Amino acid sequence: MNILSTVITGIAAVSCFAAFSWGVSKHFRSTGAMPLGMKVTSLLSLALFVAFLLHLTQGASTFWLISLGLFIASAAVFAAAVAASRLTPPTLAFDTDAPNFLLQHGPYRYVRHPFYLAYILFWLGTAVAVHGLLGWIAPVLMTALYIEAASREERKFANSELAGAYNAYRARAGMFWPRPLALLAG
């Protein structure tokens, strides 16, 4: 077990998770009490993160540098999404508000759900960081939750006054991953 790689991996993971926690409490807005789906997502995230940290005490995998890269990419996407939405923060996941604005700058230019992309990259990083198949439970579960949350948000836009603009946006920007032509158009 290489202690240095384990410590670096742990610090990077804790930094990302702390930033995400800050986002839930300080960046996103809610139209009322925290939605039940968001509570479930938050509690499951915390439980899976604690499980990851416990698993990490056995030592980081030999692929820890890949994990570090995923954590750095996750933090960069998250920071870019926060910067792009600073003036008009989105609502929490599973909120039932009717959208009244459409973000299309910063990372939103390429993906419709950059926050979820950041979270998916993070969970992939946790899976790569630990030994064994158990580490892959978190990215599978959390990605399923993010797909559900994003699908709900997509339906909210489809039923709002922004439906036409959102359809055009969907044609240009991928859900979680940039469309190749959008990258070329830059």
Tell me what pLDDT residue 185 has.
56
Q: Are 47 and 144 in contact (CB under 8 A)?
A: no
Q: Are 143 and 175 in contact (CB under 8 A)?
A: no
Tell me what pLDDT residue 34 has.
94
Whether residue 40 is predicted with pLDDT greater than 60 in this model: the reply is: yes
Task: Show the domain range for 98.
Answer: 3-185
The DSSP call for residue 174 is B
Give residue-wise pLDDT tens across range 65-123.
Answer: 999 999 999 999 999 999 999 999 999 999 999 999 999 999 999 999 999 999 999 99
Whether residue 1 is predicted with pLDDT greater than 80 in this model: the reply is: no
In total, how many domains does the chain have? 1
Q: 155 by DSSP, 3-state: which?
A: helix
The number of residues making up the chain comes to 186
Give residue-wise pLDDT tens across range 119-174.
Answer: 999 999 999 999 888 899 999 999 999 999 999 999 999 999 999 999 999 999 99
Report the C-alpha gap between 68 and 60 in whole angstroms.
11
CATH number of the domain bearing residue 20: 1.20.120.1630
Q: Who wins on pLDDT, 68 or 184?
A: 68
